[in-house]
Amino acid sequence: MKKENKIDIFLYGVGGVAVVLACIVLFNIVSSQLKFRVDFTEGKVFTLSQGTRKILTSLKEDRGGDSDSAKLKIRFYRTKGNNEVPVTLSSFAQRVEDLLDQYKEEAGSNMDLEKINPSPDTDEEDLAVKDGISSIQGVFYLGISISYLDSVETIASLDPRRERNLEYDISRRITKVLKPKKTVVGVMSSLNVWGGPDMSNPMAMMNRGQQQPSWFFIQSLRQDYDVQRIEPATTEIDKNVDVLLVVHPKNLSEQTEYALDQFVLRGGRLLAFVDPLATRDDSGSQNPQMRIPGLGGGSNLEKLFKAWNVTFDNSQVVADLKYLLPANMTPSRKPVPSFLLLDKNAVSDESIITSQINTLHLPFVGHFKRTDGADELEAEKLIWSSDKSKLVDGMSSQFNGQDIVDKFGPPSGTEHIIAMSLKGKFKTAFPDGKPAAAESDEEAEKTKDDSNGEHLSESSEENSVLLVGDTDLLVNDYSVRVQRTIFGNTAQMINGNLAFIGNAVEKMGGNSNLITIRSREDQNRPFEKINEMQQEAQKNFDAQLKTAQETLQNIVAAKSKLEQNNNQEGNQVLTIKINQEDLVKIRKDEADAQRKIRQIRKDLRKDIDQLELNLKLANIGVIPALIIIAGIAFFFVKRRKTAAA
């Protein structure tokens, strides 16, 4: 057997490395010529959603295979070759281009994709300006123009902060140019969702220039729908309204409830948001500068709910220990058991409205009950609490949250329904016809329906309504985070609240293609293990903190016993006698209690930091370690075979 010398072994090693490098280069050359993509992310974040595919399929059907008919045109403006363009923006622009290539690949000959590089003082720049594309910092362009027939939609400047929303932004505009006619969405609300003067600021009320903007859900709806304001005192819903949102209906007249009843019976889609305690309802406060949420009372639609065999308790809220929002995330920085942070286990995975919702932030929610089998309507639960929940008084939950947590006792074992939908043929809540207006109600008389329209007793076709036991999910503070950027103020969704609203309106309006795209916006995937540790440590910290506070209270009580006030007759001088040794001990105990609290916090942070470090090391080091191990194993196997030969 011929024994190999060191030179041969070296040459074999160099040759092996050269072969490996050649294989890698050859693989890159071949793979670059193939249209092959693999998306290993959870939820297929970098793959076109089913909704987008359906939109592009509808484009194909609309053209009917006619090669001469108008195509969908997308112009992608991206400045290249400019050193002033930030690297991060260039990387983002490349990802946008890759996404548009997927649109083109899916649409095929039904779409034209034109990529334009608008440099300063060129015809391309003139075209960008004509299409409404805005320059970023005056030196580069990054935007999209979408057109079909006579309809044009533009994304003037693409914001990297909305990368998670990118597919939705593009597909929404494609939908708008394909179907220019907007669905009419009416909004009836007793809350100031439309903006205007800030009632808590008298100076702003006096200065008309300082106005509060409309709530973000209104702004979001206006991007896709024709949003109309419906006054709470109305006695007739315009027949052109397709979808109606009723937000916090309080003290509605019978005439108004009758209008809602007939709206549903003639086929209108109703979304009702009722609430036992609305944080933005301070109508009961005498001083507008001192907002006390919930003083205005709860809302309800008693007559309609009764006709639908639904009851809603507008005096109690749902407290849930499983979905309790951490104290450091509440406005008061104290435990509020009815501030709920729901996860995907609390929403239906069967409904297209909620199937892709991961988180919902719902403060002070109410609950629905329904008598099954009492009518032909089909009920579907959309959102619910855990079985570790119970009903509590709203005001007590707001101001005595810690006390409620301490005395929570055994939970009810019942999942309370927070949102539900009803489907079927609805029957009127007013079998005797339209109620007469009160004699003193002059406004109702003025707005009375003069057409003497026919009273509907039952809907001719199946319809659906959606009931939500909360209004605070619409509030900006609980749904979006507004950030200032070079692109202007940008609202970033922090949970699935607005996705739920958008999905519901989209579904009720008859077009569900955008739902699967919109719901993908919330792709925040936190370390669940870290969150569990934080919650467990927070509970432990709260318990020890409570013990420490009780210790301090005992110390104060003991200290007061050491102080003896002796008022001598005829002398107003106050003398205090204190046992100095006991006082020193008390101060030492107080310092020990504070030190214990600091140690608890330190241990909590230490455990979390260690877990984060371990996860980072695993993510960074596992793959290289596997490659090294595989290489070493290959070396020994090769060496054994060589020795055997």
The three-state secondary structure class of 386 is coil
Contact 185, 226 (CB under 8 A): yes
Q: What is the pLDDT of residues 238-275, one digit of tens each?
A: 999 999 999 999 989 999 999 999 999 999 999 999 99
Query: What's the pLDDT score for residue 595?
Result: 76
Q: In what helix (H) or strand (E) does residue 369 lie, and over which residues does it extend?
A: strand 368-370
Query: What's the pLDDT score for residue 82?
Result: 80
Phi-psi region at 227: left, alpha or beta (left = phi > 0; alpha = psi -120 to 50): beta
- 574 confidence band (pLDDT: 50, 70, 90): very low
Mean pLDDT check: name the lowest of 14-18, 103-107, 202-206, 251-255.
202-206
Distance of CA 454 to the CA centre of its chain: 42
Distances (CA, A) of 168 to 40, 172, 353, 502: 20, 6, 16, 12
- Enter the DSSP assignment of 477: G
Mean pLDDT check: name the lowest of 152-156, 262-266, 506-510, 556-560.
556-560
Mean pLDDT check: name the lowest of 199-208, 430-439, 469-478, 595-604.
199-208
Distances (CA, A) of 617 to 614, 621, 628: 5, 6, 16
Compare 560 and 632 and report the one with higher pLDDT. Answer: 632
The amino acid sitting at 559 is: K
**CB-based contacts of 122, cutoff 8 Å, min separation 6:** none
Burial 449-471 (b: 16+ CB within 10 A, else e): eeeeeeebeebeeebbbbbbbbb
Distance of CA 547 to the CA centre of its chain: 37
Compare 227 and 521 and report the one with higher pLDDT. Answer: 227
User: Which structure tokens are listed for 298?
Assistant: 């709860």
Cα–Cα distance, 465 to 244 (Å, whole number): 10
CB atoms within 10 A of CB 185: 24
- 532 confidence band (pLDDT: 50, 70, 90): low
Contact 153, 131 (CB under 8 A): no
The residues that bridge with 564 in the sheet, in sequence order, are 577
Mean pLDDT of 363-374: 87
Compare 237 and 595 and report the one with higher pLDDT. Answer: 237
Query: What's the pLDDT score for residue 445?
Result: 47
Cα–Cα distance, 399 to 611 (Å, whole number): 35
- 288 confidence band (pLDDT: 50, 70, 90): low
Query: What's the pLDDT score for residue 485?
Result: 66
Distances (CA, A) of 94 to 4, 163, 165: 52, 12, 16
Q: What is the pLDDT of residues 26-39, one digit of tens each?
A: 777 776 666 556 66
Taking alpha carbons only, the member of 261, 614, 621 closest to residue 433 is: 261
Percentage of residues of the chain with pLDDT beyond 90: 39
Q: In what helix (H) or strand (E) does residue 302 lie, and over which residues does it extend?
A: helix 302-307
Contact 353, 507 (CB under 8 A): yes
User: Which structure tokens are listed for 262?
Assistant: 């007939």
Percentage of residues of the chain with pLDDT beyond 70: 72
Domain 50-166: CATH superfamily is Glutaredoxin (3.40.30.10)
Instruction: Find which of 84-98, 419-433, 559-573, 599-613 is predicted with most confidence, using mean pLDDT.
Output: 419-433
Query: What's the pLDDT score for residue 365?
Result: 95
Domains of the chain: which residue ranges?
Answer: 1-36, 50-166, 182-432+458-525, 531-644
Cα–Cα distance, 161 to 158 (Å, whole number): 9
Instruction: Find which of 168-177, 574-583, 634-643 is predicted with most confidence, using mean pLDDT.
Output: 168-177
Cα–Cα distance, 100 to 169 (Å, whole number): 12
Cα–Cα distance, 602 to 610 (Å, whole number): 12
**CB-based contacts of 471, cutoff 8 Å, min separation 6:** 191, 247, 248, 273, 274, 275, 278, 280, 281, 299
Contact 277, 301 (CB under 8 A): no
State the average pLDDT for the chain.
Answer: 80
Instruction: Find which of 173-177, 223-227, 366-370 is predicted with most confidence, using mean pLDDT.
Output: 366-370
- 199 confidence band (pLDDT: 50, 70, 90): low
Query: What's the pLDDT score for residue 516?
Result: 66
Cα–Cα distance, 227 to 250 (Å, whole number): 22
User: Which string of DSSP letters, residue by residue, matches 319-367?
Assistant: EESTTBPPGGGSTTSS--TTEEEE-GGGB-SSSTTTTT---EEEES---
Contact 280, 471 (CB under 8 A): yes
Query: What's the pLDDT score for residue 14?
Result: 67
Mean pLDDT of 280-302: 73
Compare 437 and 102 and report the one with higher pLDDT. Answer: 102
- 572 confidence band (pLDDT: 50, 70, 90): very low
- CATH class of the domain defined by 182-432+458-525: alpha beta
Instruction: Evaluate if residue 451 carries a pLDDT over 70.
Output: no
- 176 confidence band (pLDDT: 50, 70, 90): confident
Matching CATH topology for 50-166 and 182-432+458-525?
A: no
The CA R_g of the chain, rounded to the nearest whole Å, is 32
The amino acid sitting at 435 is: P
- 375 confidence band (pLDDT: 50, 70, 90): confident
**CB-based contacts of 196, cutoff 8 Å, min separation 6:** 211, 212
Dmax over CA atoms of the chain, in Å, equals: 121
Sort 193 into a burial class: Cβ within 10 Å, 0-12 / 13-18 / 19+. buried
Q: What is the pLDDT of residues 313-336, one digit of tens each?
A: 988 999 998 998 877 777 777 778
Query: What's the pLDDT score for residue 474?
Result: 95
User: Which structure tokens are listed for 35?
Assistant: 């249209």
The amino acid sitting at 332 is: S
Query: What's the pLDDT score for residue 570?
Result: 45
Q: What is the pLDDT of residues 21-77, one digit of tens each?
A: 777 777 777 766 665 566 655 556 668 888 899 999 888 888 877 877 889 999 999
Contact 593, 551 (CB under 8 A): yes
Mean pLDDT of 558-565: 55
- 450 confidence band (pLDDT: 50, 70, 90): very low
Q: What is the pLDDT of residues 107-152, one digit of tens each?
A: 999 999 999 999 888 899 999 999 999 988 777 899 999 999 889 9
Contact 294, 363 (CB under 8 A): no
Mean pLDDT check: name the lowest of 223-227, 445-449, 506-510.
445-449
Cα–Cα distance, 444 to 520 (Å, whole number): 45
Contact 285, 385 (CB under 8 A): no
Compare 168 and 467 and report the one with higher pLDDT. Answer: 467
Cα–Cα distance, 504 to 271 (Å, whole number): 8
Contact 361, 498 (CB under 8 A): no
Cα–Cα distance, 56 to 75 (Å, whole number): 17
Instruction: Find which of 39-53, 489-503, 600-614 is predicted with most confidence, using mean pLDDT.
Output: 489-503
